Amino acid sequence: MQDAVRKLISRGVLIPSPDTVFIDADVVPERIASGVTIGPGSRLSGARTLLLSGARIGTEGPADVRDCALGAGVTLASGSFSDSVFFPRSSIGPSAHVRFGTLLDEGASAAHAVGLKQTLLLPYATLGSVINFCDALLAGGSTRDDHSEVGSGFIHFNFTPHGDKATPSLFGNVREGVFMRSPRIFLGGAGGAVGPMDIGFGTVLAAGSVYRKDRGRSVLVYAEHLPDRERPFDPNEIRGASRRVRKNLAYMAELVAYYAWLRDVRAPFHASDAGEVLLGDAALALLRESMRERLRQLGKFADLAAAHASGDEARRLVGLPERLKRASPTIEDLDAAASRGTSADRDAWVGALDRALPFLDAVRAAPDAAVTAGRKWLDGIVERWLEDPVVRGLIAD
């Protein structure tokens, strides 16, 4: 038996088949809490790995967990997990492939054989099986029985023929979704969505189609098809570049709002719990890196667009790569951007939360007047970020 495994067992970690478990030398034992379960054939690595009490990995086969932070009661059944954060009572089924920048908020879940990267699932959001849902945010619903859901076999298409991933999509949004009062969203199985796109709360995309257009709130959309045709195609030609840039900036604004929510609302709620403080810090670090990733992908796209756009598109995008590079240190500063909201609205919202309740229960129980103030606070953060001269200057008028 490995010495590192013995040490974890002595600390109260449950390892039913210790001879089959491997713990890398860079794992910090003090970040693995008593009451954690590590299943047969599993491996832990990375100095940033954090497992709070009740977390379970490898419940349905070997799990390889690297530099992930798991809250209380999280279950990762089997598969590969890296550079991601899982808030309490979230779960992922067997044969998962979860990569950097993924965050599952409380109670969010996925079934078997899912692929996630740069994926944000707000509370209780649920994914079915055999799904690829990278570079996307999903919100909506209010409880474990009332949640946004993605049907089995769904794909978020996040890679273009031009070779870029400036394709993040919003299914709902942060500034409404975190209050858990928005209608749920349903994405039907055996279908897909071509990013970047926006889907409103309450909307259903019927199963079996691939969707390419933005959709508003509370609509049923079905049988979206492209006409059957063939035409000459230049793989270097880029159309709609300005729209793509605007959608990327809007997605980043929601990252700022989520950062503000986790930093100013959730973190103080758990300030007395040392493990939760570490978990919250890991989530904020993940969002900072997510912003940098969005800027990297937007920069790559800007280079392509500047080289291959034509006409009005070329005129609007003149100098965008250079402007983006100069602006990056400013617009990736989430701490500064998240502080632009009105503190009085934030304080009215935070002050209304009942700290005797679990966090999500406290959010749901808050009075409507407080929710109005909280919404105004987050709306203000998003609006100020998008109206910032640095952001607005990324696209010439």
Type of residue at 385:
W
Same domain, 166 and 267: no
The tens digit of pLDDT for each residue in 126-135 reads 999 999 999 9
Confidence of residue 308 (pLDDT cuts 50, 70, 90): confident
Same domain, 210 and 264: no
H helix runs in the chain, sequence order: 3-10, 174-177, 241-261, 267-269, 274-308, 311-316, 320-331, 334-337, 343-351, 359-365, 368-387, 389-392
C-alpha triplet 281, 283, 284: angle, nearest 5°: 65
| 237 token code pair | 């030609």
Confidence of residue 265 (pLDDT cuts 50, 70, 90): very high
Identify the CATH number of the domain in which residue 138 sits: 2.160.10.10
The tens digit of pLDDT for each residue in 17-71 reads 999 999 999 999 999 999 999 999 999 999 999 999 999 999 999 999 999 999 9
pLDDT score of 228: 84
Whether the predicted pLDDT of 360 surpasses 90: yes
> How far lies 391's CA from each of 256, 326, 329, 334, 383, in Å?
13, 11, 12, 13, 11
pLDDT score of 396: 59
Type of residue at 387:
E
pLDDT score of 205: 97
Same domain, 280 and 370: yes
Residue 174 falls inside a structural domain? yes
Same domain, 156 and 263: no
The tens digit of pLDDT for each residue in 370-380 reads 999 999 999 99
Structural domain ending residue among the three candidates 190, 221, 252: 221
Whether the predicted pLDDT of 397 surpasses 60: no
HSE value, Cβ hemisphere, 13 Å, CA-based, for 119: 29
Structural domain ending residue among the three candidates 221, 251, 273: 221
Residue 138 and residue 156 in contact, taking contact as beta carbons nearer than 8 Å = no
| 182 token code pair | 């928005």
Task: State the residue range of the domain holding 321.
Answer: 241-392
Distance (Å, rounded) from C-alpha 134 to C-alpha 239? 23
pLDDT score of 329: 92
Residue 21 falls inside a structural domain? yes
Percent of the chain with pLDDT over 90: 85
Same domain, 201 and 159: yes
pLDDT score of 95: 98
Average pLDDT, the chain: 94
Contacts of 56 (CB under 8 A, 6+ apart): 36, 37, 39, 74, 75, 76
Distance (Å, rounded) from C-alpha 69 to C-alpha 88? 10
Residue 14 falls inside a structural domain? yes
From 90, 85, 80, select the one nearest 44 (Cα to Cα). 80
pLDDT score of 190: 96
| Phi (first) and psi of residue 225, to 5 degrees | -130, 150
Mean pLDDT of 274-289: 98
Same domain, 144 and 54: yes
How many residues make up the chain in this entry? 397
Same domain, 293 and 362: yes
Same domain, 262 and 368: yes
Whether the predicted pLDDT of 324 surpasses 90: no
The tens digit of pLDDT for each residue in 168-181 reads 999 999 999 999 99
Residue 54 and residue 70 in contact, taking contact as beta carbons nearer than 8 Å = no
DSSP state of 182: B
pLDDT score of 231: 83
Same domain, 245 and 149: no
Mean pLDDT of 346-356: 97
Confidence of residue 232 (pLDDT cuts 50, 70, 90): confident
Mean pLDDT of 287-294: 97
The tens digit of pLDDT for each residue in 240-262 reads 888 899 999 999 999 999 999 99
Distance (Å, rounded) from C-alpha 236 to C-alpha 239? 10
Residue 235 falls inside a structural domain? no
Number of domains in the chain: 2
Residue 23 falls inside a structural domain? yes
Same domain, 281 and 332: yes
Confidence of residue 229 (pLDDT cuts 50, 70, 90): confident
Distance (Å, rounded) from C-alpha 294 to C-alpha 327? 13
Same domain, 125 and 185: yes
Whether the predicted pLDDT of 233 surpasses 70: yes
Confidence of residue 15 (pLDDT cuts 50, 70, 90): very high
